[in-house]
């Protein structure tokens, strides 16, 4: 008698599983919304073939820099013109009088160290596309007094444990040979190639 009850319960369980499984299969084939992939860079437009995908994180001396996105635009393109107008960037940077390109990046910076990180004494990272081709960071004079601006970075001051996700603009006039990210902090150095030499 007990064996018959166990067999009956097992048969009922198997039948229920089959019915639920069929429902699950039919639901799995139903149309689901798809999301477009996030465009994190346009490096291939400039002949650069990535060896690693973004985001890329580089650390040095307790400072963590993550490049989430980089878009390179011809300086007079509609995209560059719109960004320069929105954030009131001029037509040149501190080191480049006649830039060919405007570069827009999205970054996350975190201070994992014990000292405050401040970029007033000098940049804490550099992006390089050729032998002597560092991108030149552009400061936004309409927001010059704003520290840790989440819209467009100028002054960075991060206390230990703090992090900031923001955007940073650069100008560039050189060629495209490779793509190197370097970070400098507390006398230490870190680097990562997105595009190898």
Across the beta sheet with 188-195, the strand order is 125-128, 179-185, 188-195
Identify whether residues 8 and 74 lie together within a single domain.
Answer: no
Global confidence as pTM:
0.80
Identify whether residues 25 and 48 lie together within a single domain.
Answer: no
In this prediction, residue 24 carries a pLDDT of 45
Domain count, the chain: 2
Identify whether residues 102 and 187 lie together within a single domain.
Answer: yes
Identify whether residues 97 and 169 lie together within a single domain.
Answer: yes
Identify whether residues 103 and 157 lie together within a single domain.
Answer: yes
Identify whether residues 62 and 112 lie together within a single domain.
Answer: yes
Identify whether residues 30 and 82 lie together within a single domain.
Answer: no
Domain, as residue range, for 25: 1-34
Q: Are 58 and 65 in contact, with CB atoms under 8 Å apart? A: yes
CATH code of 80's domain:
2.60.40
Identify whether residues 118 and 176 lie together within a single domain.
Answer: yes
CA nearest 151: which of 99, 94, 81, 89? 89
Three-class SS of residue 158? strand
Identify whether residues 60 and 104 lie together within a single domain.
Answer: yes
Identify whether residues 28 and 50 lie together within a single domain.
Answer: no
Low-confidence ranges of the chain (pLDDT < 50): 1-28
- Mind listing the pLDDT tens digit for each residue in 113-134? 999 999 987 889 999 999 877 9
Bridge partner list, 74? 101
Three-class SS of residue 130? coil
Element (H, E) at 85: helix 78-87
């Amino acid at each position: 008698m007990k064996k018959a009850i166990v067999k009956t319960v097992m048969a009922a369980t198997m039948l229920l599983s089959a019915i639920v499984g069929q429902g699950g299969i039919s639901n799995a084939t139903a149309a689901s919304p798809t999301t477009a992939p996030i465009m994190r860079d346009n490096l291939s437009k400039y002949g650069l073939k990535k060896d690693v995908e973004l985001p890329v994180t580089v650390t040095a001396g307790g400072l963590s820099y993550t490049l989430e996105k980089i878009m390179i635009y011809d300086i007079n393109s509609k995209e560059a013109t719109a960004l320069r107008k929105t954030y009131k960037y001029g037509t040149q940077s501190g080191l480049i009088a006649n830039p060919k390109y405007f570069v827009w990046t999205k970054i996350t910076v975190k201070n994992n160290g014990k000292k405050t990180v401040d970029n007033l004494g000098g940049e804490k990272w550099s992006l390089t596309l050729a032998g002597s081709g560092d991108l030149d960071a552009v400061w936004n004079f309409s927001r010059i007094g704003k520290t840790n601006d989440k819209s467009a970075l100028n002054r960075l001051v991060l206390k230990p444990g703090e992090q900031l996700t923001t955007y940073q603009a650069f100008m560039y006039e050189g060629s495209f040979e490779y793509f190197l990210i370097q970070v400098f902090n507390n006398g230490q150095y870190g680097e990562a190639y997105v595009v190898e030499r």
